[in-house]
Amino acid sequence: DAGVIQSPRHEVTEMGQEVTLRCKLISGHNSLFWYRQTMMRGLELLIYFNNNVPIDDSGMPEDRFSAKMPNASFSTLKIQPSEPRDSAVYFCASRRGQDNEKLFFGSGTQLSVL
C-alpha cells in the first residue's frame, strides 16, 4: 500500500498567486481530512469529507480556501489568492470508516507564500 500521497512536497509562491495542493487517499478509505500545521496554532482541522461529501468545513479560514473531492480517491485544496499568513505545512489524512479508526497522514506540503 503506497499510503496517502500528497503533492507537491514543497511549494514556494508569491502573494496573490493561486495554490493547489493535491492528495490521493489510501485505496478503500472513505474519509478524508485536510489539516494545517503551524508553530503558533499547531495542527488545525480545515475540512473533513466522508464518501466524497464535505461534512464539516468550519475550520476553513476564509473564502480564499476551497476543497474538493471529485472522486473517491482524490482531493484538492486550493488557496486563491494566497497570502503570507497561509504559509504552513498542509497535511492530508485518510481513514477507513468513521468511528475510532486510525488516521493515516500524508507526508505533507510545505507551503511558503512570499
Partner 1 sequence: QKEVEQNSGPLSVPEGAIASLNCTYSDRVSQSFFWYRQYSGKSPELIMSIYSNGDKEDGRFTAQLNKASQYVSLLIRDSQPSDSATYLCAVDTSGSARQLTFGSGTQLTVLP
Cα distance between residue 47 and residue 13, in whole Å: 23
Query: Of the ranges 20-28, 66-74, 79-87, 93-101, which one interacts with partner 1 (CB under 8 A)?
Result: 93-101
Closest CA to 101 of 50, 38, 57, 59: 50
Nearer to partner 1, 65 or 106 (CB): 106
Cα distance between residue 73 and residue 47, in whole Å: 16
> Judged by CB under 8 A, does residue 103 bind partner 1?
yes
| Binder among 50, 52, 66, 87 for partner 1 (CB under 8 A) | 50
Please, is 40 exposed, middle or buried when counting C-beta atoms within 10 Å of its C-beta (0-12, 13-18, 19+)?
exposed
**Smallest separation, CB 25 to partner 1 (Å):** 14
Q: Is the distance from CB of 3 to CB of 58 less than 8 angstroms?
A: no
Give the x-and-dash track for 8-37 against partner 1 (CB under 8 A): -----------------------x---x--
Classify 52 as helix, strand or coil.
Answer: coil
Binding site for partner 1 (CB under 8 A): 31, 35, 41-45, 48, 50, 55-56, 91, 98-103, 105-108
